Amino acid sequence: MIPLEEARAFVLHRCPPPVPADVDLRSALGLVLAEPVEAVESVPPFDNTAMDGFAVRAADTADAPVDLSIIGTLAAGSVSDREVGVGEAMRIMTGAPMPPGADAVVMVERTKASADDTTVTIEIRVEVGNHVRGAGEDLRSGQEVFAAGTVLGPAHIGVLASIGCRQVPTYRRLRVGVLSTGDELVMGTPGPGQIRDSNRDALLALLEAAGMIGVDLGLVSDDEEAIEGAILAGVAGCDAVLTSGGVSMGDFDYVKAVLDRIGDMRWMQVAIRPAKPLAFGLVDGTPVFGLPGNPVSSMVSFELFARPALRSMSGHTDLERRRVVAVSEGGLDRHPDGKVHFARVTVDYSDGTYMVASVKGQGSHQLTAMASADGLAVLPDGDGVVDGGAVEVLLLR
C-alpha cells in the first residue's frame, strides 16, 4: 500500500495544465480567470444620486430650513443641461446623473414641496457630496478589476457585466467522460444476479456539482475489447475520463488490464478505507481515473483524487475541500490496519464548534449513508476517536 499523499501527488503531477479559452459571460460561472481583467469603463460612469430627493447646492442649505425653487424633475436615464443655480433645487430620482451646478442631494423624506410644486422646503443642512455616488467609485477605467486565478462567482459575473465584458478570458470548463463497467450492471429492471448501475449517475452529478460537464460514456460489460473501445472513444472527446469498477483483485477486473495495455498507467493500492484500489494513467495524453466499483468507494475516490486533479486542470489553486477540526459526538470507532479511514459523518455547526456524528452504515456499498453525510471524518491509523474527542473532517458541502 502507498500513502494517500503519495498517490495524490502522483495523480496531480501527471495531469495536464489548464487550457485558456474565452467564454461568453453567461457561461462563465465557477470558471477561473486565465488572465487579469481590466476595466475599460468607470463604474458608475457619471456622478449620480443615491436617493430620491432634490439636487441642490449644499451652501444653500447652511441655514436650513430653507425654501428653494423647484426648476424641474430628473428621472434615472435622462440628463439635464439646466444648471441648478443659487436658491434652486431639481427633483431627482435614484440613479439620475447630477445636474450641473448641484453638489448634494437632500433625500425626499427631509423635504416638503409646496402645494403648487413651485418651491420646496429643505429641512436639513447637507454637506457637499451628500448622497452623491461619484463617477468611478466602484471601478476606475484602466484599473485591474480581477486578477488571473480569480474564481468567478455571481458577483464577479455582475461586475464583468457592469463594464461590458461579455467575453471572459477563463480556463476551459472541463468535459469529463464517465464509464461504468461490470457484467452485473443494468439500466433497466435487474434480472437474477444483476443490479442497477448507480455509479454513473452519482459521478455525473459529482462532476456537475464541481462545475464540470459530465459526458455519459455508457455502460460496458467486463470485456476487454468493449472497455478499450469505450475508453478510447472517451479520451478522444473529453479532457478526462472516469471509469468505475474493474480495478480490484477479481478475475474479471479488466479495466486495469486495458489501461495497462493502452495507457501509461499506474495501479495503486492506497492506504485508505474506503477506496483502496485506484488505477490512474494517461491514454493519448488524457487522464483516466479507474475508480473502484463499490458505490461509496467510487464517490470517496472521486473526492480524494479526481476532484482535486480536475480542479487543477480547471485552473483552480485551491484544490481540496475545506478541512475543519470538529468534536466527535458518540466517538468514531476503528481498528488499526495501516490505513487512514474516511468515515461518513453528519456535521453540525453550533456555538462556534463543529460537531460530527457517524452516519449509520459505514459499508462501502451503503450509499444511503453517503447521501446523509455532510463530511468525511479523517481517522488516522489507530483506534479511532473517543466521544468528545477532536477529529479532522473534510466538508463535502
Q: Is position 214 an interface residue for ligand AMP (rule: CB under 6 A)?
A: no
Among Mg ion, ligand AMP, none, partner that 244 touches (CB below 5 to 8 angstroms by kind):
ligand AMP
Grid cell in block for residue 241: 475520463
Judged by beta carbon, residue 44 or residue 293, the one nearer Mg ion is 293
Judged by CB under 6 A, the stretch of 62-70, 162-170, 240-248, 371-379 that binds ligand AMP is 240-248
Judged by beta carbon, residue 294 or residue 312, the one nearer ligand AMP is 294
Among Mg ion, ligand AMP, none, partner that 185 touches (CB below 5 to 8 angstroms by kind):
ligand AMP
Least separation in angstroms between CB 365 and ligand AMP: 6
Q: 245-271: buried (b, 16+ CB within 10 Å) or exposed (e) per residue? A: bbbbeeebbbbbbbbeebbebbbbebb
Q: Is position 295 an interface residue for Mg ion (rule: CB under 5 A)?
A: no
Q: Is position 180 an interface residue for ligand AMP (rule: CB under 6 A)?
A: yes
Nearest Cα to 38, choosing from 128, 129, 140? 140
CB atoms within 10 A of CB 126: 23
Binding pattern for the stretch 210-249 against Mg ion, x by CB under 5 A and - elsewhere: -----------------------------------xx---
Q: 7-17: buried (b, 16+ CB within 10 Å) or exposed (e) per residue? A: bbebbeeebee
Number of residues that bind ligand AMP (CB under 6 A): 19
Q: Is position 177 an interface residue for ligand AMP (rule: CB under 6 A)?
A: no
Residue the block writes with cell 498507467? 265
Q: Is position 277 an interface residue for Mg ion (rule: CB under 5 A)?
A: no
Among ligand AMP, Mg ion, none, partner that 243 touches (CB below 5 to 8 angstroms by kind):
none
What CA–CA distance (Å, rounded) separates 279 from 166?
Answer: 41
Q: Is position 141 an interface residue for ligand AMP (rule: CB under 6 A)?
A: no
Binding pattern for the stretch 243-272 against ligand AMP, x by CB under 6 A and - elsewhere: -xxx-x-x--x-------------------
Q: Is 10 helix (H, G, I), strand (E, B) or coil?
A: helix
Judged by beta carbon, residue 217 or residue 391, the one nearer ligand AMP is 217
Q: Which of 145, 185, 257, 258 binds ligand AMP (CB under 6 A)?
A: 185
Q: Which of 97, 182, 214, 292 binds Mg ion (CB under 5 A)?
A: 182
What CA–CA distance (Å, rounded) separates 280 from 290?
Answer: 6
Which DSSP state fits 258? H
Judged by beta carbon, residue 244 or residue 358, the one nearer ligand AMP is 244
Q: Is position 182 an interface residue for ligand AMP (rule: CB under 6 A)?
A: yes
Cα distances from 214 to residues 209, 283, 396, in angstroms, run 10, 18, 19
**Which residues 6+ apart lie within 8 Å of 209 measured at CB?**
none
Strand (E) or helix (H) holding 220: strand 213-220
Q: What is the CA radius of gyration of the chain?
A: 31
Binding pattern for the stretch 267-296 against ligand AMP, x by CB under 6 A and - elsewhere: -------------------------xxxx-
Which DSSP state fits 82? S
What CA–CA distance (Å, rounded) separates 197 from 199?
Answer: 6
Among ligand AMP, Mg ion, none, partner that 281 touches (CB below 5 to 8 angstroms by kind):
none
Contact 90, 109 (CB under 8 A): no
Contact 165, 37 (CB under 8 A): yes
Q: For binding to Mg ion (CB under 5 A), which residues are involved?
A: 182, 245-246, 293
